[in-house]
Amino acid sequence: MRARVGHVNDTDYAGDLVQDALTDTVTGVLKWDPSAKTLQQHIHDVIRMRTNWDRKRARRFPQESLDVLTADGEPEILAEADAVLLERAQDAPEDPTALATECLAKLRQFATADPTVLRLLDALDRGATSKADVMRFAGVSAVAYGNARRRLRRLVAQLSSRSSHIGTFPPPKETEHAAH
């Protein structure tokens, strides 16, 4: 038996489909009514349904072949990944600590009218990493922490949407919390 998924004929896939359909029927995962259809018809229907699902999934999530090689004999997909990583590495900041410090400073500018968010930022700056540590350092309840964290996420989104480089952010026009 041969199955066709996309453009590749795969006899292992066909065998797996038959085996899975039979196993799922015997174990009760799939319901089969012998008075309505024969076992062969039931298995045929299950395989058709599952291959249709696999085909739709393959269209939504296409796979890159590792068999396509570049002129150097390297898989093409790996060469593309290397190029992307190299580009990102060239754009990466040289000092991540300085970038984190600059981000915290900008977030503090954005949160000047929100003392609870500022306390969360101070707790993070002092090394708190867990929710419990942040709440303890900031001296806030779980509800206040949750609300301030949501506001902080909005500020982070606002910060990241302003520019792709942290050093070029214009000062905030108005924070959402300050407007209330």
Distance CA 29, CA 34 (A): 15
Residue 16: name the closest of 63, 53, 50, 64 by CA.
50
> What pLDDT was estimated at residue 110?
87
Let me know: does 43 contact 25? Beta carbons within 8 Å.
yes
Its pTM stands at 0.41
Let me know: does 144 contact 150? Beta carbons within 8 Å.
no
**How much is the average pLDDT of 109-116?**
91
pLDDT exceeds cutoff 60 at 8 = no
pLDDT exceeds cutoff 90 at 119 = yes
| Residue pLDDT, tens place only, 48-64 | 999 999 889 888 887 76
